């Protein structure tokens, strides 16, 4: 059966495109508060679980060992735009562990932040692995290995102790024992493990509330969330949805995008977790759907409402700045 339409693109007087998908809003005990579409088929969470992956860094004691400041902890949870300020923090993380960009296994791509790509080229430089949107997460994996006193080489492989620890954390938070055949390779070469949306949302309810977690893990999660709330630019970047949400809501809302239309989040005040998958993989849809979930489940003041309105109903403008349409969630 087809999942429901969760977002529509309007142009002129007509709906031009539509996105289907699934939405799970779940509490730490697994009770479904909002369920749309398919909550049971395993979904690759991609970058949406970077905060879960970063728990390994925290539990390895790497933050203390390498004196990682909060902006670095946010970068470990980030899909950043490759802006100069992002790159500088990743370089600092690697330097603290006695390494440099050559240790990164994420691959090279130009900054997703277009002005940063143009500035890089204008200065005669080229993209490096530091500009990869996942470089902060990878620096975190490397710091975790170094803090554990193990060889960081091969840290992207499923059999490496760091990735085994990541899998154990994700299984603990989501309550799912992940079979081998649900493992695939992510864009940055680390494993991504498919998990049903309902379980993913439960994992984020735990991550946000600390409920159902061992005390040390709950403290680590709390510190990561606080680091992200205090450094929202570091978790994404200029003009990005995750940054805009966390700039406005601070510690009240944690959100993290993933490739292929995945979005996860935690609403710590209500103890709820959120997991969204847009069937076709479109971020423009997963973003407005996440904005719709926030509107529905987070108490809003007037300023919240104004800021959220721009994220709920983005205006589409063409190359001349003319308003040609709009995107909206249909929850």
Nearer to its own copies, 211 or 317 (CB): 317
Can you name the residues that pair with 4 across neighbouring β-strands?
none
Complex with its own copies: residue 8 or 27, whichever CB lies closer: 8
Which of 18, 20, 63 lies closest to 221 in space, CA to CA? 63
Tokens of 36: 């749309």
Could you say which of 138, 186, 199, 275 contacts its own copies (CB under 8 A)?
A: 186
Of the two residues 73 and 290, which places its CB atom closer to its own copies in the complex? 290
Which residues in the 98-127 window bind its own copies by CB under 8 A? Answer: 105-110, 114, 117-122, 124
Paired tokens of 281: 């993989």
Regarding 159 and contact with its own copies (CB under 8 A), the answer is no
Q: Are 108 and 127 in contact (CB under 8 A)?
A: yes
Q: Which candidate, 86, 191, 203, places its Cα nearest to that of 141?
A: 191
CB of 315 vs its own copies, minimal distance in Å: 13
Check residue 44 for interaction with its own copies (CB under 8 A): yes
Q: Which stretch binds its own copies (CB under 8 A): 23-31, 217-225, 298-306, 319-327?
A: 319-327
- CA dist 143 and 136 (Å) reads 10
x/- mask, its own copies, residues 123-152, rule CB under 8 A, reads -x-------x--------------------
Nearer to its own copies by Cβ, of 9 and 68: the residue is 9
Closest CA to 97 of 128, 80, 72: 72
Position 325 contacts its own copies (CB under 8 A): yes
Q: Report the candidate in 144, 125, 3 with the shortest Cα–Cα distance to residue 73.
A: 144
Q: How many residues bind its own copies (CB under 8 A)?
A: 54
Is residue 13 packed enough to be buried (19+ CB in 10 Å), middle (13-18) or exposed (0-12)?
A: exposed
Q: CA-CA distance, 282 to 296, in Å (whole number)?
A: 22
Q: Between residues 79 and 209, which has the closer beta carbon with respect to its own copies?
A: 79
CA 39-264-309 angle, 5° bins: 110
Q: Which CB atom, from 324 or from 331, has the smaller least distance to its own copies? A: 324
**Please, which residue, 45 or 232, has the CB nearer to its own copies?**
45
Q: Least Å distance between CB 228 and its own copies?
A: 24
Count of positions (residues) in the chain: 331
Which residues make up the interface to its own copies (CB under 8 A)?
2, 9, 11-14, 16-20, 42-44, 105-110, 114, 117-122, 124, 132, 181-189, 192, 194, 260-261, 279-282, 285, 318-322, 324-325
């Amino acid at each position: 059966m087809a999942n429901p339409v969760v977002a529509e693109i309007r142009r002129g007087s007509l709906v031009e495109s539509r996105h289907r998908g699934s939405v799970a809003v779940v509490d730490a005990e697994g009770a479904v508060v909002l369920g749309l579409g398919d909550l049971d088929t395993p979904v690759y969470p991609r970058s949406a679980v970077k905060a879960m992956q970063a728990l390994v860094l925290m539990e390895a004691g790497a933050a203390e060992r390498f004196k990682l400041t909060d902006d670095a902890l946010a970068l470990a949870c980030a899909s950043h735009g490759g802006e100069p300020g992002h790159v500088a923090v990743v370089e600092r993380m690697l330097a603290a562990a006695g390494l440099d960009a050559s240790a990164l296994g994420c691959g090279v791509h130009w900054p997703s932040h277009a002005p940063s790509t143009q500035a890089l080229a204008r200065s005669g430089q080229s993209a490096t692995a530091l500009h990869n949107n996942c470089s902060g997460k990878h620096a975190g994996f490397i710091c975790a290995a170094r803090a554990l006193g193990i060889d960081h080489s091969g840290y992207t492989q499923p059999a490496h102790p760091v990735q085994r620890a990541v899998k154990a954390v994700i299984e603990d938070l989501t309550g799912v024992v992940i079979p081998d055949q649900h493992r695939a390779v992510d864009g940055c070469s680390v494993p991504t493990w498919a998990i049903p949306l309902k379980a993913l949302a439960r994992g984020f309810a735990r991550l946000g509330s600390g409920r159902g977690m061992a005390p040390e893990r709950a403290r680590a999660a709390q510190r990561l969330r606080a680091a992200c709330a205090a450094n929202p630019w570091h978790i994404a970047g200029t003009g990005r949805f995750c940054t805009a949400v966390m700039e406005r809501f601070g510690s009240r809302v944690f959100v993290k995008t993933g490739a292929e239309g995945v979005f996860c989040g935690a609403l710590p005040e209500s103890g709820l977790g959120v997991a969204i998958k847009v069937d076709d993989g479109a971020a423009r849809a997963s973003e407005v759907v996440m904005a719709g979930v926030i509107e529905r489940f987070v108490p809003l003041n007037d300023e919240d409402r104004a800021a959220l309105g721009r994220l709920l109903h983005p205006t589409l403008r063409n190359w001349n700045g003319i308003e040609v349409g709009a995107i909206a969630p249909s929850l």
